[in-house]
Structure 1
C-alpha cells in the first residue's frame, strides 16, 4: 500500500485507493493518551487542554520545565 501514497498504481482500482486513504484518515488508537494512568505536561499544554474542555485532563500531571542557563 506504500506505492498508493505516491499516486495511481497500475492494476489497483481507484475505489480501493480511496478506501485505503479513508481508513488511514479515520484511524483511532485503541488506547487514548488520556486513558493512560498518568502523563506529564508542561503548564502551557495543560492550560490548552483545560480550555478545550478535555474531560480526561484530570489524569494529567503538570510539571515545571527545567531551564538550563
Structure 2
C-alpha cells in the first residue's frame, strides 16, 4: 500500500529537479533545508552519491531506509 503523501512528495521532488530522476547529496540538502551531511546520510539511502526521486519520496514519508549491502 502506498503512503498517502508519496505522490505529493514525488511531484514536489520532480518539480524541484526539473524532471530529473536522480538527486545528488547537495540537492537533497537544498530540498530538505538540512545543513548536515551526516543527518542526510542517516535519513536517506544514497548509492554512489545519488538517490532516486522515487526512493527519496518514499523515505520522506516514512518508508524504511534499506541498508546498503
Above 0.5 in TM-score?
no
Q: Larger C-alpha radius of gyration, 1 or 2?
A: 1
Q: TM-score, normalising length from structure 1? A: 0.22
- Which one has more relative contact order, counting CA pairs under 8 Å at least 6 apart? 2
